[in-house]
């Protein structure tokens, strides 16, 4: 419960940003490739606040991740944004897939995520490219920190 309270308090600043615009699009859908591969959808709820959902695969299991992200212009370059945020994930392995996961006695892993990244929105074409690092803290496994999740995402934006 204490960890949940800390997470919720950490997410509050993302909900109160001013109206300075950091994005050049409202919604983006695309592919994520890295330590985990999958699909990503990002949707802005406020000018500098986005929600991102990721459906991914790791060790032949299925992962679902939800994030809330704050965005701001990076290095004073138009269409280049720095983003950071927090969220949660769950990974599932069916019985036939457990042998590929490091936790052969687990059907699922649940935890919290952080994210740091840069994204660029092309002016000429409706494409967004991002590079991020998404460390995770898992609650129900012995090696509860995964710091190896880095990825490149390419999204169609509209």
The tens digit of pLDDT for each residue in 7-38 reads 444 544 444 333 334 567 899 999 999 988 99
What pLDDT does residue 58 have?
A: 79
Share of the chain above pLDDT 70, in %: 77
For 80-117, write each residue's pLDDT tens digit.
999 999 999 998 876 655 555 565 556 788 999 999 99
- Length of the chain in terms of residues written: 158
Beta-carbon contacts of residue 33 (< 8 Å; ≥ 6 apart)? 151, 152, 153
**128 burial level (CB within 10 Å; 0-12, 13-18, 19+):** buried
Task: Using CA atoms of 8, 83, 25, 40 in order, give the dihedral in degrees to the nearest 10.
Answer: -70
CATH placement of domain 2-157: 2.40.160.20
Give domain limits for the chain. 2-157
What pLDDT does residue 140 have?
A: 81
What pLDDT does residue 93 have?
A: 77
Work out the end-to-end distance of the chain between its first and last CA atoms, rounded to an integer number of angstroms.
38
Residue 136 CB coordination number (10 Å): 23
Structure token digits, residue 60:
């032949």
Read off the pLDDT band of 78 (50, 70, 90): very high
């Amino acid at each position: 419960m204490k960890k949940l309270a800390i997470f919720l308090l950490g997410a509050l600043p993302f909900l109160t940003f001013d109206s300075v615009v950091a994005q050049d699009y409202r919604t983006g859908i695309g592919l994520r490739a890295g330590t985990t591969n999958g699909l990503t959808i990002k949707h802005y709820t406020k000018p500098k606040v986005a929600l991102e959902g990721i459906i991914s695969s790791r060790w032949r299991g299925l992962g679902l991740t939800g994030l809330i992200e704050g965005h701001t212009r990076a290095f004073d370059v138009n269409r280049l944004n720095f983003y950071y945020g927090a969220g949660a994930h769950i990974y599932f392995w069916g019985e036939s897939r457990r042998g590929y996961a490091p936790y052969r006695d687990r059907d699922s892993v649940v935890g919290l995520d952080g994210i740091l990244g840069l994204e660029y929105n092309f002016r000429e074409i409706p494409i967004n490219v991002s590079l991020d690092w998404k460390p995770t803290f898992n609650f129900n496994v012995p090696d509860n920190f995964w710091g190896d999740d880095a990825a490149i995402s390419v999204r169609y934006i509209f």
